[in-house]
Amino acid sequence: MKKIIFMGKTGSGKTTLCQKLDELSLEYKKTQTVEIYNDSIDTPGEYMENRSLYNALMTISVDAKIIALVYDCTQEENYIAPGFATMFNKEVIGIITKIAMATKEDIDLAVEQLTVAGASRIFKVDTVDDIGVEELRFYLEERE
For 12-42, give the DSSP string. SSHHHHHHHHTTPPP------S-EE-SSEEE
Query: How many domains does the chain fold into?
Result: 1
Task: Answer whether 60's CB lies under 8 Å from 5's CB.
Answer: yes
Which pLDDT score, from 0 to 100, does residue 144 have? 63
pTM of the model: 0.93
The DSSP code for 50 is -
pLDDT tens per residue across span 67-114:
999 999 999 888 899 999 999 999 999 999 999 999 999 999 999 999
**Which runs of consecutive H residues, i.e. helices, occur in 25-125?**
46-49, 54-60, 104-117
Q: Is the pLDDT of residue 28 over 80?
A: no
CATH number, domain with residue 95: 3.40.50.300
pLDDT band at 1 (very low <50, low <70, confident <90, very high): low
Q: How many residues does the chain have?
A: 144
- Domain holding 18, by residue range, is 4-142
